[in-house]
Structure 1
């Protein structure tokens, strides 16, 4: 097992801290690392795609789980896969797509580990119909603070605390996951423009539109009658007969596109109000008013930003804050008010997404709930950003909504309690399971988790 001291951040590149990094290659080495973690505790870390400080542990230890990356096998029908927690969704796709299978849920990056997907209970464009990632986990192996490895199954308190528990109940070592059958590695995509926020919301709620995967890029710099204008995309896994003849010979090939990486140095302010307004306008006008049946690669449809290595550098040295909230059905006025405030403040959000969520999953700290979700990234150096987002937090909490912890870097603990009604149960289980504080992170200290 390798050990070194490193400085690390989340994907947003804010608030760097230093920790001792262990890289276990076996379960036994992971047990030894947890038992010897010291008074500042430890936290598991995958590929570092949590935007904030969830996988950092200042002055303590971090378990880099990426060396535990064995795919142990699928069942006879190929309907489930068992793998180590350090397996990335990218590697999983490469392994199961040739078998005509696909992960049941994928976020906007495939460079997240299975363990990270469970700990964050990630969601994707199909949350409304498929729920979050942990809904499809049949069992997981969890290393707890006492050094034991437990098999944890859905329907138990420990599973519900671990799904979305940000790694604070223990180290996920492996999992068995249900897969989705697919016939090809292409998506059949419908694209349409929405002229404003009300038009977009009407399209997202229209009867008959129950596509498996739905999301809308929204222009948060548009104002006046165009406030909330958007480009809505819907997708389904393409059937074999939708492919051109030459593509039917290799229908399940997985060939992600890759562009040049963003350089290590990018000037501050590159994504300012003027440049983002220009880019947003170009993006909106370039989109078709309505197009159906376009074939896209799985990688382009789900993970467009993954094609640009180190895209997070584009915000400059100060990094960026990723902010995602959800408010319930019936809180449309809250959503309109928040979108209006962001637009009036001229927040330079280059990539913002509005979507609808369906039923929640049982995870005590799992983020999705039925309603409306808005995600946006903003330069961390934006003047007055912290205070502005605090105000939005209060609006979201007052409406019974919540902020996503996997993307958070600045939420206040008093606001958290109003957003997650099962927080007290989570804290109580942690106190019982881990009285010595073996599992800690910068996020857990900041939010008193």
Structure 2
């Protein structure tokens, strides 16, 4: 695909159809009774809450409603400091924290309500995880339309952050596949919100600040197997990588590159490029065709609760990067991989975020548009010269923009990297990168941010004023608030 703003769209997996209940497999989780939320609000002890990066914890009353009525009661009784919904805690920064107020743990609302197994449409509560959807839907021949690097994300979180995956250049963000949602707003009413409305566009990517998502109707992707057909190749440097992505991305549904940000000189930006498709049934070996849709994610031992600081320094990460690059094939095609290995390799290590030590880590992700390749090159060179020890660094291409006013993707190049939070001078360095990104017309991903300065947000998100105006009209008392919304004046 040429470096323009249009992407080659994949055909819809199935035409829209009526949503009907299914009888098997059983998916309606039976929830136990819970005391009234008003009682919990009166007695809930303050709890330390943090994002996945573990950098900026704050204390709030953590409440877990088990019905829509309890969620509404919690919103009505949240107090002066307001409340914010929280899923499985995979936002890296402070988006799902609310210091001194209440946080609604939505994982108690985890019912899959109905599945139309012919049209590939699911209706589920916001607390259902993508992992649970895969467990239930893959045996029926359906897959989630978009998944990030972890399947331990709730549907509500996927909409609130408008998540993207390796297929954005083809399929767009998660919100593009949401046909309807139920939203609990600050006045205590539940609104049915459809794509194309202002409220939908403010909620998709709105980080939970328009209300509490209770339920969603999602269009799925038809698949024949639970395996991926994967092509892997090495790129010698950043220019080589961008040329390969530009020339061939249109031929793959999924595409991502691991990039070595410690390599310098002629090898700056060297990478391992991985592309994939859902494997057709006739490509499986005979013994695998009897259970082609089996979903068996493996798990390794959890990361220790304490690891020494400095374990992931420049020397150790540089050695890892060298080994990873050299071990990758120069070119390999048609390798069969299971879905967890291709999409979610880190999910196999519970609590992998502990490997950065008690200081935690910052995940920095930005996007710059097509035509801003020089800005991308300059930022990669700066990161390389700075010696940021990141072994989880990926580069992808985004396709057409998404409907959400605060959705992160725009047509262009996105780079994400993990950096130990205690790296000396990191804050000032990232502030400088923020300025370069904003100058290039790009933006930083709110779902991963923990430290950006508020004055840059309007430059990065031009529809922020519309978002603020709608939020003020919908929630004049500021019921829905978070540490991030205060920090960035959202």
Give 1:10 shift. 0.1
Asked if the contact 2:64–2:106 (Cα under 8 Å) also holds between the matched residues in 1, the reply is yes
Between the aligned partners of 1:361 and 1:375, the Cα distance in structure 2 is 19
What secondary structure is seen at the aligned counterpart in 2 of 1:327? strand
- Equivalent position of 2:91 in the other structure: 50
Asked if the contact 2:117–2:140 (Cα under 8 Å) also holds between the matched residues in 1, the reply is no
The answer to whether residue 338 in structure 2 is matched with residue 326 in structure 1 is no
Between the aligned partners of 1:251 and 1:400, the Cα distance in structure 2 is 45
- Equivalent position of 1:343 in the other structure: 384
- Equivalent position of 1:129 in the other structure: 170
- Of 120, 125, 149, which residue of structure 2 is paired with 1:108? 149
What secondary structure is seen at the aligned counterpart in 2 of 1:249? coil
- Equivalent position of 1:367 in the other structure: 408
- Equivalent position of 1:398 in the other structure: 439
- Equivalent position of 2:228 in the other structure: 187
- Equivalent position of 2:238 in the other structure: 197
Between the aligned partners of 1:205 and 1:58, the Cα distance in structure 2 is 44
The answer to whether residue 311 in structure 2 is matched with residue 270 in structure 1 is yes
Write out aligned runs for 1:242-257 (5 A).
242-257=283-298
Number of residue pairs matched?
A: 449
Q: Report the TM-score when normalising by structure 1.
A: 0.99
Between the aligned partners of 1:185 and 1:237, the Cα distance in structure 2 is 7
Asked if the contact 2:163–2:173 (Cα under 8 Å) also holds between the matched residues in 1, the reply is yes
- Equivalent position of 2:300 in the other structure: 259
Give 1:210 shift. 2.3
What secondary structure is seen at the aligned counterpart in 1 of 2:289? helix
Name the CA shift for 1:274/1:155 in 2 (closer, same or farther; >3 Å).
same
Deviations 1:298-345 (A, max 9, x none): 000000000000000000000000000000000000000000000001
Between the aligned partners of 2:321 and 2:119, the Cα distance in structure 1 is 42
Deviations 1:25-45 (A, max 9, x none): 000000000000000000000
Between the aligned partners of 2:172 and 2:415, the Cα distance in structure 1 is 17
The answer to whether residue 83 in structure 2 is matched with residue 38 in structure 1 is no
- Equivalent position of 2:129 in the other structure: 88
Between the aligned partners of 1:445 and 1:328, the Cα distance in structure 2 is 28
Write out aligned runs for 1:95-174 (5 A).
95-174=136-215
Write out aligned runs for 1:389-428 (5 A).
389-428=430-469
Name the CA shift for 1:15/1:172 in 2 (closer, same or farther; >3 Å).
same
Deviations 1:27-84 (A, max 9, x none): 0000000000000000000000000000000000000000100000112514100000
Name the CA shift for 1:348/1:208 in 2 (closer, same or farther; >3 Å).
closer
- Of 467, 473, 479, which residue of structure 2 is paired with 1:438? 479
Give 1:6 shift. 1.1
Between the aligned partners of 1:75 and 1:141, the Cα distance in structure 2 is 19
Asked if the contact 2:229–2:334 (Cα under 8 Å) also holds between the matched residues in 1, the reply is yes
Give 1:208 shift. 7.0
Write out aligned runs for 1:276-291 (5 A).
276-291=317-332
Between the aligned partners of 1:125 and 1:155, the Cα distance in structure 2 is 25
Moved runs in structure 1, 4+ residues, more than 6 A?
Answer: none
Between the aligned partners of 1:271 and 1:106, the Cα distance in structure 2 is 27
Asked if the contact 2:301–2:350 (Cα under 8 Å) also holds between the matched residues in 1, the reply is yes
- Of 254, 261, 264, which residue of structure 2 is paired with 1:220? 261
What secondary structure is seen at the aligned counterpart in 2 of 1:129? helix
- Equivalent position of 1:235 in the other structure: 276
What secondary structure is seen at the aligned counterpart in 2 of 1:206? helix
- Of 216, 236, 242, which residue of structure 2 is paired with 1:175? 216
Asked if the contact 1:192–1:287 (Cα under 8 Å) also holds between the matched residues in 2, the reply is yes
Asked if the contact 1:78–1:101 (Cα under 8 Å) also holds between the matched residues in 2, the reply is no
- Equivalent position of 2:393 in the other structure: 352
The answer to whether residue 11 in structure 2 is matched with residue 11 in structure 1 is no
Between the aligned partners of 2:221 and 2:114, the Cα distance in structure 1 is 16
Q: Report the TM-score when normalising by structure 2.
A: 0.91
Asked if the contact 1:13–1:318 (Cα under 8 Å) also holds between the matched residues in 2, the reply is yes
Name the CA shift for 1:196/1:208 in 2 (closer, same or farther; >3 Å).
closer
Deviations 1:162-188 (A, max 9, x none): 000000000000000000000000000
Between the aligned partners of 2:313 and 2:391, the Cα distance in structure 1 is 9
- Equivalent position of 2:8 in the other structure: none
Between the aligned partners of 2:261 and 2:250, the Cα distance in structure 1 is 24
- Of 346, 368, 383, which residue of structure 2 is paired with 1:305? 346
What secondary structure is seen at the aligned counterpart in 2 of 1:233? strand
- Of 337, 346, 359, which residue of structure 2 is paired with 1:296? 337
Asked if the contact 2:233–2:330 (Cα under 8 Å) also holds between the matched residues in 1, the reply is yes
Asked if the contact 1:78–1:99 (Cα under 8 Å) also holds between the matched residues in 2, the reply is no
